[in-house]
Each structure stands twice: as structure tokens, then as C-alpha cells.
Structure 1
Amino acid sequence: MCLLTKTIRCEVTPKPLQGYESPQHEAAAFDALWRAHLGDCVHRKLPRKLDLRRPHYRDIREYGVPIQRRVSLILDNFNELCEKLTSHEPGAMERALFKDLYSRVSIQKDDGNLLGFTSHVDSVLTSLKPLAAPSPPEEVSATADAPLPDLFPVKYTLDLDTSHIYRMDDFFPLGGNKQRHVHTLHVTHPYYYFWFPQQKLARAIQACFTFAAAQARHLYGVDTLTPPEPVVVQCTYSDVDSMGFLVYQLNTLRLSNDDGVKNQVWVKEAEPLYSACSHKDGLQGHDGLLFDHYLALYRSS
């Protein structure tokens, strides 16, 4: 995904990803997780569990909260808790949360390929002011010398779906009379089948690029190749039992080739929210520091 979006990964951790490392909110974060996994009253018959050690054995189907609902409830409970903790801070009333949004942008490459990026996210937190760029102009200029991954002899479009694109129309879901900027994207993986961590991260980077590129073209015009100011987007990517964070800075839309300034991303890898969860034993091994990182992203400006 870094090759498709002309993005390099930076190692220095920006302030929004550092968190607060405070145990004060651990009890409230534990309650938010418990209500999503064990306290919800909506129960359905869940898919049958597969034991890889005994693939021939048909386990009993259990009743519980569907994974799609649990993943969404975790974000809803965390957002509600963040609103309570930041209600007294300046600019708290300027935030708005939108559910179930998608964005679309098309990029033409020099080799003749027309790439269409479409991203659907669980929710988007917006603000009236754009986020400050974590990378100064001199560091942005230095990215021109940073190499992108070389996949030769594999072609970068190997796993992409091929379709006929007749209209290169971009779509930015927040284009209204009152200008709003993307603050934080919430990308979820509400699936029962297995995803590799690299796949989850790539999906989050693709969502950040799509929304940031659509916002840049909405603000500065569809022909914009270098935004006057970098477009910064934060993101959380989570499934039913883990959560990761990243900050994305869009410096250029000149993706026709690999030369010149590149986009930047800072990543905090996904970590487990808990070690075990069941109605019999409850929620065990809860990591309260992950919510502090979530709150740090919510508070950033």
C-alpha cells in the first residue's frame, strides 16, 4: 500500500501517538469494553467455531453479541468517554462524529494505469480547523531522497481488481456549506475470518490516503498535485480484540511516478485490548493504556 500511495513510514513518534500513560481512566475504559463485549442485550447465534487441531469436530454454536456490533460498540463507548473527559476543553463543541462514510479518488499513473481508491470507514471525527502537520517543511523536502519499496519482478497492481472506469469523479463526504476537516478516521475489521496485521494496517493507510486526497482536491481543486498545506489525518484501526493508531500526512498527489516528495505515515502497531473474554471468567488482561492513546488522538489539534 505504501507503493500505491507513494508513502514512506517514519519512525519518530509524533505527539498524538505518544499517549498520556495515565492510569486514571483505566476503570472507565474497562467499563466501556465490558459493556461492548458482555453487557449488551442483543444476542444472536454466532458462527460455529473452528478448532484447527480438530477440523472434523463440529462445535456447538453459542449465543452472544455479533462481532460487527461489538466492534462498533467499542468505538461508540470510547467516543462517548472522550466527549465526557474533554467537554471542558476549548474547541470541544467544534467536533462532530459522522457514521458510515466512504470516500473515492482516482489517480492516473505514467504507465497508463488508472487507480481508483474507494474507502469505507465506520465513523469519522471532524473539526472546524485542520490538524497541524507533524513534519516540518524541511523534513517534507527530505522525503524526495527516500526510496520506495521495490517489488520487481512483481507488478504493483497484481492483487488489484480490474474494472472499467468511465468517469474520474472524486467524492468527499464532508463537502457542505460549513467547511469541516477530517480529524480522525475509525477503520474497523468486523469479520470472523483471519486478517494478517499487515493487511489491517494497509487498509488503514489506504483509507487515510483516500480521505486526505479527496479533502485536498475539495479544498484546493481537482487539478491539485501539491497542496499548499499538507493534509493531516489521524486513524484508528481495530477489530474485536485489538487496536492500532496512525497519523498520515499527505504532501503530494503527484503519484504518476516514484520521484519527488512523498507522503508520510507514523504507525503505532495494533496491540491486544485484553487477553481473554468470556461470560464465565469476564474480561481479563485489559490494557488501559490503549484508551490513553485513543484519547490523545481525540485531543490533538
Structure 2
Amino acid sequence: MRLTNVLNAQHLGWHFKMKWRTLKRRAIEDQNAASYLKAMGLPVIDPVQEFMSEPEIPKPPSELLNPLSIGQLDRNENHPFWNSRVCHMFGDNNVLICGEKQAQVLTKTLLVNELPDTIQKLAKNVEISEETEIRVKNSILHAHLFDAHQEKLAVRKNPEKPMWVFPREWGITDYRKNRYIIDKLLQQCEKLTDSSITSQRKILENVSFVVPFESDGNLIQFHKTAEHFLVSKQAIKPIENISNAESELPNLHPLKSNISIEPENIYQEKHIYPVPKGGNFEYPHTAFVHYTPLDVKNITLEPVKAEQIASRNMLKAFTIAAAKAQSLYGAKVEDLPSPITVQCVQVHINQFYFGVYQLNTLNLNADNDKKNYWFKTSPKLLYTNCEYNESRPVLKNYNDDVLRHTLAFYQNQ
């Protein structure tokens, strides 16, 4: 028989229970506090009547609409948000069926197949050390291979066997990969930039923009979101010397510019820019947006094309610039007194789309010479392959040009 310590006959918790049981019977002595307060002229209120009585809650009038029942209303003329004029709503999960050409006609934008000279010079003069490259490579490996957070991935489909059901896979989602890489690239940009510039920057996350405008006589409203939004104390200087720009807008005949944008009679016309006017960081600088095939789809259920992905980046930049213009000059502004320049970077795992948008006018119906400009480059690959090879993590063909352009966008003023 193994010897053990002698257990106490009474548990410590039992003593506390007995103590509370004894003390709860003790009568509370009257300290005559109420009489002293009344003698001093202070009002005394009975706490039982004050806290135990149920207050009377006024009932709302019957004509008020219950907001929980809005989704159950019939989508007809009796709906409170019904409008006789049709509005074409375009959100984050939509793409234009004609890609960049339709986006140019819709926003009256001329295309320039290169970035402005200031950004090109900044990208060439960037000096990146080996330590910085090692940090970026480690960030890529962590985002794709080492992250322990696992979620259910998208359902796989085989076009040749549409009825075949693949087993659900767990792994790192595209949204999480994009978010982690952008965070780390911005962190390296802050380290490589002087404090005089970083003090003028601020990063916002998951901000929304809503802009209604008219194009070719149609009312259109954009609802866009930027996962990372870089704001600045000063606006980016407008681009003056514009060369190699297209001379005319594309011709979509016989299609209209609002094709594949769903019309809607139930809507609210809103003007939303997330930063209030007159704040310290009110000017838009650079937007980092995500593209995930799971969320962004064609209205025709066909695979999204490369032109449609590029047009999505352009429309994001236009929405941000237009929202800022309506915030500064009013909702009915047409020709802007001063151009608004916005930089936009779209990320799809290892593909980076860099672009700069300059908004000159919101008068998209008139046939005047004043147009907007979109500067862009072909998508840049951050790497070609990142996977396990014989149980070892391998990163192939890392491209430091992505970090150079991201740093050039961050430092541009």
C-alpha cells in the first residue's frame, strides 16, 4: 500500500459557504443616513422604487416601418426605396463583359500603357539590400506555406465531368495570402522610407466608396471597397506631361457602355468617401485591392478574362477619385478645378497590377475634349512558383521589381 498525505476533513470551499450562510442572516443596522441627508436639504429617493420598477417604454407609432421587415417587402412600387428612374448598380463582385474598353467608354478615360515618369525614376533609383529581400521571401513562404490558419477552400469543378464531386480541401485562402503579402510589403516600404514621408501617410483597412454618376444618359452607381487604403496629408501632384496616350475612346458599337451592369429600381443614391473633409489625412494616395476568383465572377458565369481583371483595377481607382471629387466640390461637380490623382495596386496571389488614375472631369455625357487618364503596366509576377519540393519549401524566380514599384508608389508625392 502506497502512503499518501492525510486529506483534510473539511474542504476550504465549505468554510466559505458556511460563512456566507451565517452572515446573510445578520440584520443591517440603520445608520440614520436618510435623516442626516434630509436635514441638509438633499433629496432622498427610495432605491427599490427607482431601480426595481419597470420604466414605461413609449410604443412607436404604427406608421413607422420596421427595419427588420424591409427584406420581406415586395420588390415593387410599394417599396420605400422604389425609384421611377432605373439605376445601374455595379459592385465589387462584378466585372465588365468587355473589359478595359468598356471601362474606358463608361468613365471617359484614355489609356496610357506606361506609368508616369516620376514613378519610373523612383523605381529605378530604389536600392534594396539583401536583408530586405530575405524578409520579403520569408513573408512569401509564410503566406503560402507556413501559415497555420486553415479554412475550407473553394469547391473544385471539372468542366469535362461537371457532376463529379471532389472532396473539400482545407488550406490557406487567397484572401489571406493577399492580405499578408500586402501588410509585409507596406512594412518594408515604411522601413526604407524617410520619416518625413512616413509621417504623412496613414493606412486604413476595408473602407468603402459609393459614387453615383451619369454616363451616356444612364444613372450608374459604383460600390467599391479597398482592403488597404493609404491616405496622405497632401494630394498627389497632377501629371502634366502626358505622352503616348490614346487619341480616341474605343468603339463598342453595337454594344452600350452599361452592358452587363444590372439595372435596379430599388436603390438609395449615396455619396460616400470614408475620410471626412478637412481632416489631417483626407487625400487619397494608394489603394491596395484584392482579386479572388471565388468572389469575382462574370454575370454570364464564364471564366474571368485578363482584360476584365485589369478593368477592375481601373474602376476601383476611378471610384476613389470620383468619391473624393464629390466630397471636395459637391455631388453635382463636372469639370474639376484641379485634377485628382489616385494610385491603385491590385493583387492576385503572385500577380500585381500597378496603375495611376488622373480624374479631370465627371462630365461623362458631353463630347468635349476634357478626358480622364489611366496609366498602367502589364501585370508583374512576384514569383513563379512557391510550393513544397521533396518536403522542402521552395520559392522560384523571385522578382524584386514588385517591391521597387510598391516602394515607388509609397514614396510618390
Check conservation: 1:119, 1:210, Cα contact below 8 A. yes
Write out aligned runs for 1:82-101 (5 A): 82-86=189-193, 88-101=194-207
Structure 1 residue 259, shift from structure 2 partner: 3.0
Q: What's the counterpart of residue 187 of structure 1?
A: 289
Check conservation: 1:23, 1:289, Cα contact below 8 A. no
Q: Secondary structure at the match of 1:164?
A: strand
TM-score normalized by structure 2? 0.65
Aligned-residue Cα RMSD (Å) equals 2.6
Check conservation: 2:139, 2:181, Cα contact below 8 A. yes
Counterpart CA distance in 2 for 1:218 and 1:84 is 32
Paired-residue identity, %: 27
Check conservation: 2:382, 2:398, Cα contact below 8 A. yes
Q: Which runs of 5+ in 2 are unaligned?
A: 1-102, 298-302
Q: What's the counterpart of residue 16 of structure 1?
A: 119
Matched to 1:103, the amino acid is: F
Check conservation: 1:209, 1:248, Cα contact below 8 A. yes
Structure 1 residue 158, shift from structure 2 partner: 1.4
Q: Answer with 54-63 or 178-187: which moved more.
A: 54-63
Matched to 2:351, the amino acid is: S
Q: Secondary structure at the match of 1:83?
A: helix
Counterpart CA distance in 2 for 1:74 and 1:50 is 28
Match of 2:145 among 1, 18, 38: 38
Write out aligned runs for 1:192-211 (5 A): 192=294, 195-211=304-320
Structure 1 residue 204, shift from structure 2 partner: 1.0
Check conservation: 1:16, 1:297, Cα contact below 8 A. yes
Q: Secondary structure at the match of 1:77?
A: helix
> Quick check: which has more Rg, 1 or 2?
2
When residues 278 and 10 of structure 1 are mapped into structure 2, their CA distance, relative to the original with a 3 A threshold, is: same
Counterpart CA distance in 2 for 1:124 and 1:17 is 22
Structure 1 residue 13, shift from structure 2 partner: 3.1
TM-score normalized by structure 1? 0.88
- State yes or no: 1:130 paired with 2:235: yes
When residues 44 and 150 of structure 1 are mapped into structure 2, their CA distance, relative to the original with a 3 A threshold, is: same
Counterpart CA distance in 2 for 1:60 and 1:30 is 32
Write out aligned runs for 1:1-301 (5 A): 1-14=103-116, 15-17=118-120, 19-20=123-124, 22=127, 24=129, 25-50=132-157, 61-86=168-193, 88-109=194-215, 111-136=216-241, 139=242, 146-164=247-265, 167-179=268-280, 180-192=282-294, 195-280=304-389, 281-301=393-413
Q: Deviations over 1:245-280 (max 9, x none)?
A: 001100111111343210001101212221112234
Counterpart CA distance in 2 for 1:53 and 1:165 is 40
Structure 1 residue 59, shift from structure 2 partner: 5.6
Check conservation: 1:30, 1:288, Cα contact below 8 A. no
Check conservation: 1:121, 1:187, Cα contact below 8 A. yes
Q: Secondary structure at the match of 1:235?
A: strand
Check conservation: 1:17, 1:246, Cα contact below 8 A. no
Check conservation: 1:104, 1:171, Cα contact below 8 A. yes
Check conservation: 1:78, 1:291, Cα contact below 8 A. yes
When residues 28 and 41 of structure 1 are mapped into structure 2, their CA distance, relative to the original with a 3 A threshold, is: same
Query: Relative contact order: is structure 1 or structure 2 higher (C-alpha 8 Å, sep ≥ 6)?
Result: 1
Counterpart CA distance in 2 for 1:161 and 1:249 is 27
Structure 1 residue 240, shift from structure 2 partner: 1.3
Structure 1 residue 58, shift from structure 2 partner: 6.0
Counterpart CA distance in 2 for 1:155 and 1:272 is 34
Matched to 2:210, the amino acid is: R
Structure 1 residue 219, shift from structure 2 partner: 1.3
